[in-house]
Amino acid sequence: MHQTLYPVILSGGSGTRLWPLSRAALPKQLLPLLSEQTLFQETVKRIADLPNTAAPLIVCNQEHRFMIAEQLRSINITPNAILLEPVGRNTAPAIAIAALTIQRQDPNGLMLVLPADHLIRDEPAFHIAVAHAAQIAAQGYLATFGIVASSPETGFGYIRQGAAIAGHPHTFQVREFVEKPDLATAEQYVASGEYYWNSGMFLFQAQDLIDELRRLRPDILSACEAALDQAKNDLDFVRLDPTAFAACPSESIDYAVMEHTQKSAVVPADINWSDIGAWNSIWEVSTKDAHHNVTRGDVMIEDASHNLIRAESRLVVALGVENLMIIETADAILVAPKDRAQDVKLIVDKLKAQSRSEHLYHDRVYRPWGWYEGIDSGDRFQVKRIMVNPGAKLSLQMHHHRAEHWVVVSGTAMVVRGEEEIMLCENQSTYIPLGSKHRLENPGKVPLHLIEVQSGTYLGEDDIVRYEDIYRRNA
C-alpha cells in the first residue's frame, strides 16, 4: 500500500536570538536570512519534489497568517490548510492538531513534521532519510531524524541509538534521549558514534501518534480535539477554538511522547543541517571572504576579520575589529562578540521588561494589503511610506483624532472619501479630513506607493474605526 506523505510545517517560533532582524511580528522563519527566499519558503520548497506527497499543512501563529499566505503564494504553493494557533503551546499540541487534521482526511496518512526555520544544504541526502523514515513509520514506528554530529555541540539535545531495526539498514530504535550536555560529555557522545543531534524533525503515521497521545497524554489530545472540533474557517485559514486550545498543556513532543513511547526510532541524517538558532550559526554556514568575514548589504570593511556584518538600511563600516557580529536595522543596531550570540535573548528580555517596542516590530510593519513604514514624526504630525499590493485594499475606516494627506509616488490609487470615489495617479494627491470615512485601494497591476502625512492630536494605530474589512480583522 502506498501511503500519502503529508508535510507539516511548524512556524510558531519567535527567533529572539536573531534580534534585531527577527521580531515578534516578523520572526526569523519569515526572513530571507541566507538567500533571497525566507527560511519558511525554503522549507516548503525542500519537500515539493518528494514522491507521493500532499500539499503542506502549516501550523502558525495567527498574527503571521497573512505573511504565511503571501509567502506561499509567491512560490506558487497552495497549502492543504493553514491552522492558526491563538496562543503558543509548544510542539506537542501543534503536532497533535496536525495529526488530527490529517487523520480525518486520510486514516492511513503519514506525516512529516518539519520546523520552518532549519537549513538543510544536502537535499538529496534529506530525501533519502525521509524515504527510510517512511518505511519504518509504515510499520508503526515514530521516527525522528538524528543529525550526524560534526562537532561536540552543547546547545543541542542528543539521541542515543539502540538496536538496529531488522530489514531496515540505517535505522535504529532509540535507546535514550539526553538533555543538552556540557562540553566534556558532548565530546564523549561524538567520539562514541552512538549519539546524534536531536533535530526536532519527525515522521510517523498520524493515527499512531494519536494513539500514543491517547495513552500517554490524553489531556493534550482531548484539548486539541476540542479546539479542532470547534474551529472556524476564516478566509483561507482555520482558526482553532481559543478557549479549548488555551486550556491545553504546553509541552514539547519529546517530553509528551517521544521519550516515553516504546515505538521511537532514529534515522541518522548526514544532511548538512543547521537550526539557525543564533547569529553565530549564520556566520558558520555562510560564504566568507579571504579574512573570514560574512557581509550582507552596504558594508565596508578594512583590516577586519572573522566578523558577521549585516546592513539593512545604511552604510556600515568596520575598521580594525574581529570576531564581532554587527547587525544594523532602521531602528536598532546590535554590536557584540560572536561568542555572545546566545545572550542576545537577554537584550530582548530587557526590551520587554522596559515595555519598548523594538522586540515586537520593525519600522516597516506588514499588513495583509502590503506594508507601511515610518519616515518622520513629531508634535502633532507623522509621515509614512505606504505600499499596497496589486488588487488589495485597506479597510473602510475613520479616525477620530487625525486627518491624512496622501501623495501617490507610483502606481494608481482608488480612494473612497465620504460619498466620493477618486482615481489618483503618480504625483497626484488628496486630503482625508478628520472624521471622514475613507478607503484606499490599488486597482492596478503594479504595487502602489504613496506618502501619507498625518496631522492631529493623537496619531496612534488604535485610532481606527473599521466599517468594512475584506481581511476580517477585529481591530
Mean pLDDT of the chain: 94
User: pLDDT: is 278 or 14 the higher one?
Assistant: 278
Region 37-41: what's the mean pLDDT? 96
- Amino acid identity of residue 93, one-letter, is P
Where do the H-state alpha helices sit in 146-288? 183-192, 206-216, 218-229, 242-246, 253, 279-285
Give the Cα separation of 379 and 447 in Å (integer).
Answer: 31
**Structural domain spans, the chain:** 5-274, 287-352, 364-468
Q: How far is CA 425 from CA 431, 439, 444, 450, in A?
A: 15, 16, 10, 10
Give the Cα separation of 221 and 53 in Å (integer).
Answer: 26
Confidence (pTM): 0.90
What pLDDT, on a 0 to 100 scale, did the predictor assign at position 472? 80
Instruction: Please name the residues in contact with 397: beta carbons below 8 A apart, sequence gap of 6 or more.
Output: 437, 438, 439, 464, 465, 466, 467
Region 322-347: what's the mean pLDDT? 96
Class of domain 364-468: mainly beta
H/E stretch holding 103 reads: helix 91-105
What pLDDT, on a 0 to 100 scale, did the predictor assign at position 149? 87
Give the Cα separation of 96 and 171 in Å (integer).
Answer: 24
Question: 5-274 in CATH: which number?
Answer: 3.90.550.10
Asked if pLDDT for residue 317 goes beyond 90, the answer is yes
Q: Indicate if 364-468 has the same CATH topology as 5-274.
A: no
Give the Cα separation of 362 and 15 in Å (integer).
Answer: 14
Region 82-102: what's the mean pLDDT? 96
Region 13-27: what's the mean pLDDT? 91
- Amino acid identity of residue 376, one-letter, is D
What pLDDT, on a 0 to 100 scale, did the predictor assign at position 470? 87
Q: Is the N-terminal amide bond of 242 cis, ω within 30° of 0?
A: no
